[in-house]
Amino acid sequence: MACDFLVSYEMLGKNLNAIFDLSSKYLIHIPSSYKLNPMTLKAFTRQNFRVTEVIEVNERLYAAETLDDLLLKVVDATMMHVFTEAGTEVIYSYLGNSTNLKREEIAEKPEVFSAGLERMLGSGAPVIEILILKNLHRKLELKFESKKGYEFPDYIKELRKRCGC
């Protein structure tokens, strides 16, 4: 595998090193103990050496992806998993008609999204919200912890503070 470039970055307080393979959608995380300088990287790239101390391979989250983008993707995926595509379209249509909330505005207005879900699904709404939150935390490589008195918008606000966005 030829690697295109090495990048060091910080995500949620963790310093990480990664090699991006631009020919695929994967990001290879490298342990911080593995020092990969630019000359070594060129050797890997030119001679197709393999990095032997890879600790995990994840689908790449593009740098331009914001928490809002990720939240919207997770909401879509969770709703499709639970309600199928047709059911998800019905829910988005209901939210649009009853609350004037567009699908693209869910991340900006989590309280409107939550209230609309509750009107439509009743006691089932918190179950869907928790699934969304667990999936979002998993994508961010965080542990989800339920907090007494917290509602969907509270968790989103907390994630925004934590991520600095």
Q: Where are the domains of the chain?
A: 5-59, 67-163
**Rounded distance, CA 134 to CA 158, Å?**
14
- 4-18, 89-103, 124-138: the lowest-pLDDT one: 4-18
CA contacts within 13 A on the Cβ side of 126: 6
CA-based angle 150:99:158, to the nearest 5? 25
pLDDT given for residue 65 in this prediction: 61
CATH number belonging to domain 67-163: 1.10.1200.200
Whether 23 contacts 2, CB under 8 Å: yes
In terms of Cα–Cα distance, which of 25, 121, 138 is closest to 79?
Answer: 121
CA proximity to 40, closest of 30, 53, 28, 51: 51
Q: Which residues of 99-115 are buried (b: 16+ CB within 10 A; e: fewer)?
A: bebebebbbebbebbbb
Query: Which H/E stretch holds residue 28?
Result: strand 26-30
Which letter does DSSP use for residue 133 in this model? H
Residues 120-144 have pLDDT tens digits of: 999 999 999 999 999 999 988 889 9
Convert the pLDDT of each residue in 55-91 to its tens digit. Answer: 344 444 443 368 898 999 999 999 999 999 999 999 9
Report field, pTM of the whole predicted structure over 0.75: no
Listing DSSP states for 44-85 in one string gives HHHHTPPPTT--EEEEPPPTT--HHHHHHHHHHHHHHHHHHH
The gap between the terminal CA atoms of the chain, to the nearest Å, is 34
